[in-house]
Amino acid sequence: MVAKLSQNFWPATARIILRNRILILVIIAAITVFFGFQWQNMRFSNTEANLLPDDHPINLEYEEFLKQFGEEGNAIVLAIRDSNLYTPEHFNRWNVLSKQLDAFPEVEFVISTDNLKELVKDNELQEFVLKPFLKSEPDNQQTIDSLKHHLFNNLPFYDQLLFNKESETIRTIVYLDKDIVNTSVRKDFILNDFSTLVQNFETETGLDVRVSGMPYIRTMNAQNIIDEIGMFITAALVVTSLIFFFFFRSFRATLISMCVVIIGVMWAFGILGLLQYEITVLTALIPPLIIVIGIPNCIFLINKYQQEVKKHGNQALSLQRVISKIGNATLMTNITTASGFATFIITDSKLLTEFGIVASINIVFIFILSLLIIPIIYSFMALPKTKHLKHLNKRWIDAFVNWMERIVRERRIGVYVVSVMLLVASIIGIYQIRISGSPIEDMPKSAQFYKDIRFFEEEFDGIMPVEIVIDTDRKNGVLRPVNLRKIDELGERIKEVPELSKPTSVVELVKYSKQAFYNGIPKYYQLPTSQENTFIMNVVRKSEGDGQLLKNFVDSTGQIARVTTFIKDVKTERMEEIEARLLENIEKIFPEDRYKTSMTGKALLFLKGTKYLVKNLILSLTLAIGLIALFMAYLFRSFRMIVISLIPNLLPLVVTAGVMGFVGVPIKPSTILVFSIAFGISVDDTIHFLAKYRQELTANHWQIQKSVYAALRETGVSMFYTSIVLFFGFSVFVLSSFGGTVALGALVSATLLFAMLANLILLPSLLLSLERSIANKEVMKKPQIDILPKDELPESENINV
């Protein structure tokens, strides 16, 4: 019944399309204009990609931390490692830069040598006061040298915060207004006012300013994504159009195809605007993906049209057959491709869910556009000339198909041996794959901001914050001597880990208070003894600005303390070891029955997010395989055919995973996408081949070998064309400066190329070797849907065009 409906549906669809050409083109134009207006709602992401769902415990812990201590990622740091800085002219110009930055409304405050405060004791009032490090603008080298010596030798509180004593690197910290950190205002400020001031300083002084900090990194990274969108779209259009022209040698066929995919790209941007999704590193890939996936649709439709024209020269009949014969097969293949992307929707990750929704919707749209635009435009044109049909008889394509046929006929045992060897080697490689939880691994290595990240990592030990929160379960409990000693002990344990920076906490402030109490002598930078604690802490509590001093280290009740350290960019395995070591020390120093502790921060958030994502994407890939298996079962109603059809599609995925293990490409959010994308696309070839095979079986009265070779010759050319387009189309992502995008493009391209060979060599070999088990009328029952209709329609069946 379903098959009968399918047979009637497509001829009826062809009649509707070809009899309402003008109306359909007007509707497409109107929809395109509508989506064009939605572009104004597009916005680029101003926040960091959160890979965990909002209600995940790790996320909730981090949100609670932000409520207590505010946004942690609002600091931009500038640094100079150059002895030429320590001259009156350059040192004063450095201080002017900090004044200029502090004057902007987007900046909350700035910490630099210009406004650096020293904690000193007022003996008369018996309280601590903050006095400026600079009494006046230094005007000679002797003053500069004195200030430099005092800063590096007498103010240990600021070591690793404002300077590195060993290298004499000095830095300025610019804290942005927390309300603008996750808005477009941050981007505008950094790319315009901030960058201009820094460039002017470098031009005037000849000093190299290094810049980093999460707001700056996020802004520059996002700008790179924006810059690459246009490059990807242009590269995809150029590459696919050149390949298309090489195959078809027809300008008009190429232009029609480009028209289809360009409209598809416009719709893709429109969908992003309509749904008000942010453009991220993933959604930025959708427009070029639409180009790469849309061109094979055009190849199938135009190739069929030209074949029909060559066969009988009747344009109306040719266009009708393009829709009725290829429409169903193209729909099935696009649905399987869309299914591969749609499985991302179940991942609980907002980033991947949005990518899956937009990608799957637009894959269906590009199919509809191809099916409507190509026949309609050709209906207004003259029949293709003889020279446009020459590509149908290319000898080198015939040679390629004949080569595959010889392998299937004569080398089937060799095909199986090679397949098993690849499988075994790949499994060995899979055991060597590592998971990467590094937030900067995919960033462009040649970009200056990436080099600056490495500079700060070298100078100040870490780049990503790790926050430890300690709840003493008692108001003002943080400042009790016993708790201060425990926090100090934890700090010593942190210092023992080479990948972690010197921690900052309330302990550093208390040590500084003792140093100030003893007239700033550096050797007294230590925790007060039990006898000293009472009167030193009394002075601290009496001091002006005490709340201001403490607020970055202790919550408003004095009950909860934070310890901040920074971690270097390390491998995931090492990060997990460090996490386990810290948790062990925290539990030992702060027993659970007396303290509530937690560990959070961007570094751990990204690590946990990556692992969560990998787990969910494995589930999505499993779901994709399951969905497509059910789809094949519905089409062919044969369990054995499901198994046979999955083998040539799963083997390339296993080989790709093995290659990743051998060459050291880690599993991360970008590379895990490879498997679902490649599987969803590669199974299209299997559907085309098996559909043609089933049709040939019926036509050839169940002569298996004849049917297999006929299907191979018939589908081999189109599969080769589409696979080459997909290979080079995905290869454009190799042009990216983002490591993850490069890996995605290279791996998908290689996987699809290998999948083509598997479908053209391994799949026919399996069908021939297992012919007795699968090629009989009981197993190869009439499918629920005829993917390919019967080959010939009555010549009298015509449509007025």
Q: Is residue 343 included in any domain, yes or no? A: yes
Distance, in Å, from the CA atom of 307 to the CA atom of 313, rounded to the nearest integer, reads: 9
Q: Is residue 699 included in any domain, yes or no? A: yes
Evaluate the CA torsion angle 18, 20, 25, 28 in order and state its sign.
negative
Q: How many other C-beta atoms are found inside a 10 Å radius of the C-beta of residue 70?
A: 12
Q: Is residue 360 included in any domain, yes or no? A: yes
Question: In degrees rounded to 5, what are phi and psi of residue 597?
Answer: -130, 155
Return all residues near 537 (Cβ < 8 A) that are at least 6 apart. Answer: 479, 510, 513, 528
Residue 193: burial class (beta carbons within 10 Å; 0-12, 13-18, 19+): middle
Q: Is residue 417 included in any domain, yes or no? A: yes
Distance, in Å, from the CA atom of 428 to the CA atom of 264, rounded to the nearest integer, reads: 41
- Beta-carbon-side half-sphere exposure of residue 542 (alpha carbons within 13 Å): 14
Question: In degrees rounded to 5, what are phi and psi of residue 561?
Answer: -115, 155
Q: Residue 437: what pLDDT?
A: 64
Averaged over 543-555, what is the pLDDT? 62
Q: 673-699 and 602-636 helices cross at what angle (nearest 10)? A: 10
Distance, in Å, from the CA atom of 548 to the CA atom of 334, rounded to the nearest integer, reads: 61
* pLDDT digit string, tens, across residues 595-633: 898 888 877 887 787 777 777 777 777 877 777 777 777
**Number of domains present in the structure of the chain:** 1
Query: Is 229 in contact with 282 (CB distance < 8 Å)?
Result: no
Query: Is 435 in contact with 667 (CB distance < 8 Å)?
Result: yes
| Residue burial 83-120, b: 16+ Cβ < 10 Å; e: rest | eebbeeebbbbbbebbebbbebebbbebbbbbbbebbe
Beta-bridge mates of residue 64: none
Distance, in Å, from the CA atom of 577 to the CA atom of 574, rounded to the nearest integer, reads: 5
Query: Is 477 in contact with 555 (CB distance < 8 Å)?
Result: no
CATH of the domain at 238: 1.20.1640.10
Mean pLDDT taken over the chain: 81
What does the block give as tokens for 436?
Answer: 């990467």
pTM surpassing 0.85?
no
Q: How many other C-beta atoms are found inside a 10 Å radius of the C-beta of residue 180?
A: 20
Q: Is residue 405 included in any domain, yes or no? A: yes
Question: In degrees rounded to 5, what are phi and psi of residue 111?
Answer: -110, 120
Distance, in Å, from the CA atom of 713 to the CA atom of 707, rounded to the nearest integer, reads: 10
Q: Residue 200: what pLDDT?
A: 93
Q: Identify the H or E element spanning 130.
A: strand 127-132
**722 is in which domain, residue-wise?**
2-48+220-431+606-774
CA 415 to chain centre: 36
Q: How many other C-beta atoms are found inside a 10 Å radius of the C-beta of residue 756?
A: 22
Q: Is residue 657 included in any domain, yes or no? A: yes
* pLDDT digit string, tens, across residues 67-98: 877 766 788 889 999 989 999 999 999 999 99
Q: Is residue 172 included in any domain, yes or no? A: no
- Beta-carbon-side half-sphere exposure of residue 516 (alpha carbons within 13 Å): 26
Does the pLDDT of residue 775 top 60, yes or no?
no
SS3 call for 681: helix
Q: How many other C-beta atoms are found inside a 10 Å radius of the C-beta of residue 642?
A: 17
SS3 call for 280: coil
Distance, in Å, from the CA atom of 661 to the CA atom of 609, rounded to the nearest integer, reads: 21
Q: Identify the H or E element spanning 454.
A: helix 448-460
CA 642 to chain centre: 32
- What type of residue sits at position 664? G
What does the block give as tokens for 653?
Answer: 């995925």
Q: Is residue 551 included in any domain, yes or no? A: no
Averaged over 362-385, what is the pLDDT? 87
pLDDT band for position 2 (cuts 50, 70, 90): very low
* pLDDT digit string, tens, across residues 458-504: 888 777 888 889 998 888 888 888 888 999 999 999 989 888 888 88
Q: What is the CA radius of gyration of the chain?
A: 33
Averaged over 741-749, what is the pLDDT? 84
DSSP letters along 683-715, please? Answer: HHHHHHHHHHHHHHHHHTTT-HHHHHHHHHHHH
pLDDT band for position 45 (cuts 50, 70, 90): low
Maximum Cα–Cα distance across the chain? 112
Does the pLDDT of residue 792 top 50, yes or no?
no
